[in-house]
Amino acid sequence: MRRTLLYNGLEVIAYNVNRKQSDLKLFEFGKIYFKKGQEYLEKKRLAIFKTGKALAETWHSKTTTVDFHHISEAVRSVLERYDIQTDDSSTLHDYPLDFGIQLYVKETPIVSYGKVKSTVTREFGLKQDVFFADIDWDLFLSLTTNNIAYREVSKYPEVRRDLSLVIDKSISYKEIKKAALNSERQLLRKINVFDVYEGKEIGDDKKAYALSFILQDDKRTLTDKVIDKAMNKMMRLFESELGAVIRQ
């Protein structure tokens, strides 16, 4: 019976890093067990993990590595979303954290978060920093009356396809994104701009976008045939509705 959700999370991070997926934002709802006096108790927890790069690559900003402020922001976002006010805080320098913060509601700890000790992460073969938050979910739920909804994480892998297109300067990225979602709502999960180019080579009234598309099916693994069909459908829409020229 586990006493913390930390170690399962580190195992998942190590599994992904070993498969070249090092920029991770993960969470887990689970139970922990501990002894109080002669009694064994069970509590529900929410664990949050952040490691690697904080943001995806973009054309207008440099990537930054996850740090303490990013895990703090995640914790504050959860608390503020349900209007939970903390009364006090204290600094942590205890195992398994190098440093961290503990927040309280009426003198009861509701969340601890910080940087996991490198001696701990190395036991899982990890060379990158990992930031961890541990939220007392029983206490959290007792403080809010909001309805909570979630979507199950798909067990099937995401697929990335990149596309470069030349388009009129008057057309915004928002219009490109809208057209893509209208074309492929079922499989398209994310769109990201990672480069923008303007220059004489493509014309003074034109700009070139380098876009990445993340596709995923919740019910099956995507095949090349299905992926190509979805991408071709989006490209035809870009050409017909936005006047885009696809760069091969």
Span 29-51, average pLDDT: 91
> How many Å apart are CA 141 and CA 79, to the nearest integer?
11
Residue 32 has pLDDT above 80, yes or no: yes
User: What CATH class does 159-247 carry?
Assistant: alpha beta
- The domain locations on the chain are 6-142, 159-247
Give residue 88's pLDDT.
75
Query: What is 6-142's CATH number, 3.30.930.10, 1.10.10.10, 3.90.1570.10, 3.30.565.10?
Result: 3.30.930.10
Q: Each residue of 48-91: pLDDT tens digit?
A: 999 999 887 766 667 789 999 999 999 999 998 888 888 777 88
Q: Each residue of 7-19: pLDDT tens digit?
A: 999 999 999 999 9
> How many Å apart are CA 93 and CA 161, to the nearest integer?
44
Q: Each residue of 133-145: pLDDT tens digit?
A: 999 999 999 988 6
Strand, helix or coil for residue 190: strand
Give residue 148's pLDDT.
59
Span 107-129, average pLDDT: 94
> pTM of the entire structure?
0.62
In contact, 131 and 70? CB cutoff 8 Å:
yes
